C-alpha cells in the first residue's frame, strides 16, 4: 500500500501540482480512507520528502556502484553516470520532474536532508573528474566544479525533453552526450 | 506600475510559489488596491504568461542579434548564446526559475504560445549548429538535435547553481563551458 500511495501521489502531483493535490484526492484515487494514508505518512509533506529521498538515494547507490568498479576508466564511469541520469528520466520521469519542481514545498529540515544528498551526488561526480585530471585522462586547464556542473546540467536537462519513444534510445543519447563532453563538438580535430 | 506589479509578483512567486500567492498578497506588497492590479492584468494567470513571454522574448531578440552578426564564427556565436543564458540567470534568475517551475499553471492556450517561442529558440540554436556542421567548423558525426539539447542543458542548468558572487564570473563560466562543449574534457589531445 505504501508503494501504491507513492505511485498515485506522484501521478497526481505531476498532473495537478503538489499544492493543488489534497490527501483526499490521493485516497480517492486509490479507493481507500484517509486513515490508510496516515498509517504510512504523517503528512503530505512527509510523503513528498519520501519521494525526493527515494529518488536521490537510488541515484546515489547506483553512482557508488559505478564509481567502485575498478575495471572502468574515468570515461566509462562518466558514460555510465550520464546514462543512468538519462535512463532514470526515462524510467522515473515523473519523480524527476516532481523532484525539481516541488522542492520548495519541503520544510527547511527536510529540504536540508535532500540537499545534502544531492550535494553528495555532485561531490562524488567531481571527485571522479578530479581523479581523471590527476591521471591525465582529463585535461587540467578547466575548473573541476564547472566541468561537473556542465555534465550534470547536460544530463539532468534531459528530463525536459527526453522521450523514451523518440528517435534515439537513452543509451544513444548518453553516448553522443559523453562524446560531446569528452571530445568536443569542434570539427577541427576530427576532420 | 505595470513594471512594479511584475517585479513584486516575481518576488512573491519565487518565494512562496504561484498557487500560494494571491492577488491580495501582490497588491498588499505594493500598497495599492486590487483595482490597480486589474487595470493592468485580467488575472494572475495572465500576469504569469506576461512574465514568461517577456523572459523568452528577451532571449529571442538577443539570440537574433547574435546570429545575424556576420563577423562572428559559429564558435563565437555559441559562446555569445551560452554567455547570454548564464548572464541572464545572473540578472534575471527569478524569472528564469519561475519560468521553469510554474509553467504548469498556464492555461493550455497560453502554454502553447510560450512553448512556440521556446521551441523557436531551440530551433534557431540548432540551425546555427547545422550551419557549423556544414561549414566544417563543427564535426558531422553527431545528431544536431542532441548537440543543441546538450548545449541548452548545460547552460540552462546554471539557473540551479550559478551565483553572481561566486568564484567565477558569468563570462568565465561561459568560456569554460563552451571550451568543454567545443573542445571536450578529454586530456588525450591537449597533453
What confidence tens digit (pLDDT) does each residue in A125-176 have?
A: 999 999 999 999 999 999 999 999 999 999 988 888 888 888 888 889 999 9
Compare CB distances from A139 to B160, B181, B186 and report the shortest one's residue.
B186
B57 and B141 housed in the same domain: yes
Domain count, chain B: 2
Position A98 scores a pLDDT of: 82
State which residues of chain A have pLDDT below 70. Answer: 90-91, 188-191
B35 and B122 housed in the same domain: no
Cα A78–B146–A77 angle (5° rounding)?
5
Position A90 scores a pLDDT of: 66
In a domain, B141, yes or no: yes
**pLDDT tens column, B22-46:** 999 999 999 999 999 999 999 999 9
* Structural domain range at position A12: 1-41
Q: Kindly state the average pLDDT of the residues B143-171.
A: 89
Q: How far is CA B42 from the centre of its chain?
A: 25
B64 and B85 housed in the same domain: yes
Q: How far is CA A187 from the centre of its chain?
A: 31
A27 and A51 housed in the same domain: no
Name the residue with cell 523568452. B56
* CA A106/CA A52 separation, integer angstroms: 10
Whole-number Cα distances in Å, A125 to A19, A60, A132: 33, 10, 11
Check CB contact under 8 Å for B154 and A157: yes
CATH code, domain carrying B24:
1.10.10.60
In a domain, B190, yes or no: no
Contacts with B, A 102-121, CB within 8 Å: 104-105
Compare CB distances from A19 to B20, B188, B189 and report the shortest one's residue.
B20
Number of alpha helices (DSSP H) and beta strands (DSSP E) in chain B:
9, 0
Position A164 scores a pLDDT of: 80
A49 and A34 housed in the same domain: no
B70 and B35 housed in the same domain: no
In a domain, B18, yes or no: yes
B178 and B128 housed in the same domain: yes
| pLDDT-derived band at B188, boundaries 50, 70, 90 | low
Cβ-based contacts under 8 A for chains A and B: 147
Amino acid at each position: 500500500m505504501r508503494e501504491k500511495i507513492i505511485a498515485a501521489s506522484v501521478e497526481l502531483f505531476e498532473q495537478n501540482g503538489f499544492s493543488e493535490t489534497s490527501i483526499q484526492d490521493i485516497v480517492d484515487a486509490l479507493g481507500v480512507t484517509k486513515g490508510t494514508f496516515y498509517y504510512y505518512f504523517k503528512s503530505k509533506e512527509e510523503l513528498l520528502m519520501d519521494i525526493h529521498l527515494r529518488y536521490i538515494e537510488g541515484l546515489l547507490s547506483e553512482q557508488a556502484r559505478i564509481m567502485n568498479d575498478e575495471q572502468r576508466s574515468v570515461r566509462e564511469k562518466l558514460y555510465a553516470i550520464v546514462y543512468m541520469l538519462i535512463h532514470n528520466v526515462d524510467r522515473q520521469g515523473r519523480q524527476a520532474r516532481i523532484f525539481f519542481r516541488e522542492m520548495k514545498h519541503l520544510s527547511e529540515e527536510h529540504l536540508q536532508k535532500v540537499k545534502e544528498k544531492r550535494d553528495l551526488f555532485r561531490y562524488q561526480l567531481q571527485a571522479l573528474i578530479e581523479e581523471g585530471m590527476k591521471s591525465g585522462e582529463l585535461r587540467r586547464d578547466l575548473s573541476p566544479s564547472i566541468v561537473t556542473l556542465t555534465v550534470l546540467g547536460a544530463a539532468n536537462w534531459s528530463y525536459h525533453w527526453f522521450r523514451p519513444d523518440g528517435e534515439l534510445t537513452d543509451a544513444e543519447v548518453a553516448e553522443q552526450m559523453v562524446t560531446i563532453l569528452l571530445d568536443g563538438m569542434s570539427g577541427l580535430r576530427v576532420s
